[in-house]
Amino acid sequence: YRLPVRLITEAAYHGMFAWNMFLRPTQEELTDHEPEFTILAAPSLIADPDTDGTRSGTFIVVHLEKRMILIGGTLYSGEIKKGIFTVLNYYLPLRHVMAMHCSANMGKDGSTAIFFGLSGTGKTTLSADASRTLIGDDEHGWSDTGVFNFEGGCYAKTINLSAEREPEIYATTKMFGTILENVPLDDYRAPDFDSKEYTENTRCAYPIHYIPNASSTGQGGHPKDVIFLTADAFGVLPPVSKLSPEQAMYHFISGYTAKVAGTERGVTEPQATFSPCFGEAFMPLHPTVYAELLSEKIQKHGSAAWLINTGWGGGPYGVGKRISIEHTRRIVNAVLNGELDDVQYAEDPFFGLMIPTTVPGVPSEILNPRNAWTDKAAYDEKAAALAGMFKKNFEQFADQASSDILSGGPK
């Protein structure tokens, strides 16, 4: 399923970025390299919206017939990888391969897990687990033989990065060849990962083998667990809930999260948003195409589906607190280790989600989001409001969604 590509760019570091991020061909493969897609990255070329028909001076244009991607008006390296990701998301489903905006890792027993989620929800952080083999952090396919990584590198956020909280990713920032993007340097020319001087969207790009436990093949089996990550800005979704097949499809098509500060230009506070398939901007086909393909694979291979909230609890943004990465890691480990298979569950009255009453190592009072709020009436109001937003958003898909999928929505 590989797609040979060529990058032509003004900036030398973009070439290094592509070498870090894409699958690196051998010298022998380079001898016979014939690109099937060309990326032209011209950051100094600013578009004129009135003349060129763009929305701003920055543009990313994909031409499938000419097999070309044009990027202008931005130095942001992420557009290079996301351009090719968009192309793969068009072609692979036509070959019955599920293209996914997700991370993936594998346990010592060979069980594979995939993590869906938009930027800022924890895909990279949660999949970089020293106890599991990292398959990839952002873009994967699911074929008849299992999961495989589209890329040869990782593109991790570095805002507030520390050796204590994310040791594997922090270590890569000191390795030769890692690219730090938008990261300010202090007076001693050391990276200041806490600084938001230029933007909160600070990044590091490194070859995947810089992570000690990365897979050498970039492949895994059929997922045992499919995890949807969301950063709920309203603080009403539980830290973890188990989804029925119908709920899994509903939440996949909905793609609810928040625009987390630093991952989108001009956003400094989280805002509720819906992005079908957890990556609408990169999915050129109708969301139901991806949803039906994912549903087919989940049912065929008996995968369990989960919704994990890495956002807020105890209140909305500005009142409640962000769920700690330590608690989220413990929840993820409990899911992957089968610790939630035999615990009791309680049904959420607004969304119909099944919430575990206990998770080893996690305070029980945060598991049911209503219990974490001091003002229960305020919680009920927020939960009802978010449920209404889900329903309103899904109206655009209702005519093409089956009754089973529709039954997976809020009460």
In a domain, 281, yes or no: yes
Domain boundary among 74, 95, 116: 95
Q: HEC string of 31-65? A: HCCCCCEEEEEECCCCCCHHHHCCCCCCEEEEECC
- Residue 270: band (very low, low, confident or very high) from pLDDT cuts 50, 70, 90: low
Tens of pLDDT along 306-363? 999 999 999 988 889 999 999 999 999 999 999 999 999 999 999 999 999 999 999 9
Find which of 29-33, 121-125, 126-130 is predicted with most confidence, using mean pLDDT: 29-33
Across 231-268, where does the E strand assignment appear?
240-243, 256-259
Residue 176's CB: how many other CB atoms inside 10 A?
A: 6
The whole domain housing 69 covers 1-95
In a domain, 257, yes or no: yes
Helix (H, G, I), strand (E, B) or coil at 288: helix
Domain containing residue 27: CATH number: 3.40.449.10
Residue 73's CB: how many other CB atoms inside 10 A?
A: 18
The closest of 62, 175, 70, 170 to 125, measured between CA atoms, is 170
Which H/E stretch holds residue 167?
helix 167-172
Tens of pLDDT along 159-215? 999 999 889 899 999 999 999 999 999 999 999 999 999 999 999 999 999 999 999
Q: Are residues 371 and 234 in the same domain?
A: yes
The closest of 368, 144, 143, 360 to 239, measured between CA atoms, is 368
In a domain, 238, yes or no: yes
Q: 235 and 319 in contact (C-beta within 8 Å)?
A: yes
pLDDT (0 to 100) of residue 202: 96
In a domain, 398, yes or no: yes
In a domain, 179, yes or no: no
Tens of pLDDT along 6-21? 999 999 999 999 999 9
Report how far apart, in Å, the C-alpha atoms of 158 and of each of 124, 173, 386 are: 11, 9, 30
Q: What is the mean pLDDT of the chain?
A: 94
In a domain, 105, yes or no: no
Q: Are residues 396 and 254 in the same domain?
A: yes
Residue 22's CB: how many other CB atoms inside 10 A?
A: 20
Read out DSSP for 67-93? TEEEEES---THHHHHHHHHHHHHHGG
* Gap between the Cα atoms of 390 and 77, Å rounded: 33
pTM of this prediction?
0.90
- Residue 233: band (very low, low, confident or very high) from pLDDT cuts 50, 70, 90: confident
pLDDT (0 to 100) of residue 265: 64
pLDDT (0 to 100) of residue 262: 55
Sequence length of the chain is 411
Tens of pLDDT along 386-409? 999 999 999 999 888 888 889 999
Backbone conformation region of residue 73, classed left if phi is above 0, alpha if psi is from -120 to 50, else beta: left
Domain containing residue 291: CATH number: 3.90.228.20
Q: Are residues 81 and 230 in the same domain?
A: no
Residue 135, C-beta contacts closer than 8 angstroms, at least 6 positions apart: 103, 104, 105, 106, 112, 127, 147, 148, 149, 215, 218, 219, 220
Domain boundary among 95, 110, 136: 95
Tens of pLDDT along 360-379? 999 999 999 999 999 999 99
In a domain, 268, yes or no: yes
Q: How many domains does the chain have?
A: 2
The closest of 235, 279, 232 to 253, measured between CA atoms, is 279
Query: Identity (one letter) of the amino acid at 151?
Result: E
Handedness of CA 293, 214, 81, 310 (dihedral sign): positive
Tens of pLDDT along 81-109? 999 999 999 999 999 999 999 999 999 99
* Gap between the Cα atoms of 207 and 194, Å rounded: 23
* Gap between the Cα atoms of 22 and 226, Å rounded: 25
pLDDT (0 to 100) of residue 403: 87
Q: 135 and 220 in contact (C-beta within 8 Å)?
A: yes
Q: Are residues 90 and 225 in the same domain?
A: no
* Gap between the Cα atoms of 358 and 339, Å rounded: 10
pLDDT (0 to 100) of residue 268: 57
Rounded mean pLDDT of 132-149? 96
Tens of pLDDT along 143-163? 999 999 999 999 999 999 999
DSSP 276: G
Strand order in the sheet with 5-9: 5-9, 37-42, 68-72, 59-63
pLDDT (0 to 100) of residue 269: 58
Domain boundary among 37, 68, 95: 95
In a domain, 124, yes or no: no
Pairing mode, strands 203-207 and 153-157: antiparallel
* Gap between the Cα atoms of 220 and 197, Å rounded: 39
Q: Please list the alpha-helical segments (H only) found in 255-324.
A: 287-301
DSSP 100: E
Tens of pLDDT along 259-268? 755 555 666 5
- Residue 272: band (very low, low, confident or very high) from pLDDT cuts 50, 70, 90: confident
Q: Are residues 238 and 91 in the same domain?
A: no
